[in-house]
Amino acid sequence: MPPAGYRDAPGEIDGRRHAAGQVRCTAVDHLAVSLVNALLTAALATCLLALIALRQGAARARRDLHKLRASTSELRHLADHDPLTGLPNRRRFEQELARQLAHVRRYGPEGALLVLDLDCFKPVNDSLGHAAGDRLLTRVAAVLRERLRATDLIARLGGDEFAVLLPRVDRAGATVVARSLVETVRGAVPAAAAGAVTISVGVLAFGGDAPASTPESALAAADLAMYDAKAAGGDGFAFYAEPRVTAATAAPSAAAPAAPAHLPGVAVT
């Protein structure tokens, strides 16, 4: 302590006050800096959390988009394919057939349409059950798919009926393919308990056999030829030809001879 009677000089008092003020200012400055740092740290942490949340959200969005694309692709596949055999269905086949008919109209006759039907499907279904029938259809589909070229289109129209579009063949080429399919199914598909597995094939050569203008008319013509092959005993093929229309609609005469097994103009093999 200062001696008794001692008083601080005015300058000393001001100096101590100034020093104290500096100490207080320094403390306030440190407090302010600490507060600013704390706010900056909190803001940085908030931004970091927001960035993490955005990245997680983006990742979820990518996963959702991937799932959506997968679902869309699956729906497209289901809309265009037969669920049992995995082959294109009638809808998809008719679209491709319409393109082929447009090509024929523009560039001339080319290609052929085949309609195939199993000769033994009903006995298999009746005697062995629908599960056996499904297995038979799947096996036939696999055999047909293996035999045909990548440029050919095979579809299941429904039931035990299939169709094949051959875009780049003439009548002779269609004959070779039809005969080969009949022989392949007969030899490659195991015989069922209800009988041998064979097919009947109706063939429509574009531009030569009939002026098919729509997928529906083309399929109808090939279908008629297929029933001619069935009427001949099955396990074979028949070509569609125009004279059959007149023969099919002509009224039978009492003096007329018995109708042939196949209509005029239809080649059955």
Q: Which residue has the higher pLDDT, 67 or 245?
A: 67
Quote the longest CA-to-CA distance of the chain.
164
The domain defined by 90-249 folds into: Alpha-Beta Plaits (3.30.70)
Q: How confident is the model at residue 247 (pLDDT cuts 50, 70, 90)?
A: very low
d(CA 223, CA 226): 5
Residues annotated catalytic, as ranges: 160
pLDDT at 194 over 70: no
What pLDDT is recorded for position 249?
Answer: 31
Residues 192, 59: Cα–Cα separation, whole Å: 54
Statement: residue 251 has pLDDT above 90: no
For residue 119, give the nearest of 215, 36, 217, 195 by alpha carbon: 195
pLDDT band (50, 70, 90) for residue 17: low
Per-residue pLDDT tens digits for 27-69 = 777 778 888 888 888 888 889 888 898 888 888 888 777 776 7
Question: Cβ neighbours of residue 99 under 8 Å, at least 6 residues apart?
Answer: none
**Alpha-carbon span 121 to 160, nearest angstrom:** 7
* Six-digit token string for 175: 């004959």
Q: Are 187 and 90 in contact (CB under 8 A)?
A: no
pTM for the model stands at 0.66
Query: Does the pLDDT value for residue 18 go beyond 70?
Result: no
Task: Tell me the three state secondary structure of residue 4.
Answer: coil
Q: Which of 207, 147, 200 is nearest to 177 (CA)?
A: 147
Residues in a beta bridge with 155:
163
Cα–Cα separations (whole angstroms), residue 238 to 52, 70, 203: 69, 43, 6
Contact 188, 141 (CB under 8 A): no
C-alpha 12/C-alpha 39 separation (Å) is: 40
Structure tokens at 242: 């125009």
pLDDT above 50: residue 211: yes
Calculate mean pLDDT across residues 217-222: 94
pLDDT tens-digit readout, 120-134: 888 888 778 889 889
Distance CA 18, CA 248 (A): 125
CA distance 64 to 208: 52
Confidence of residue 216 (pLDDT cuts 50, 70, 90): very high
Q: What percent of the chain has pLDDT over 70?
A: 72
Q: Are 200 and 237 in contact (CB under 8 A)?
A: yes
CB-CB contact of 222 with 114 (8 Å): yes
Which residues have a Cβ under 8 Å from the Cβ of 144 and sit 6 or more positions away? 116, 154, 162, 164, 181, 184, 185
Angle, helices 90-107/215-231, rounded to nearest 10 degrees? 110
Give the pLDDT of residue 165: 98
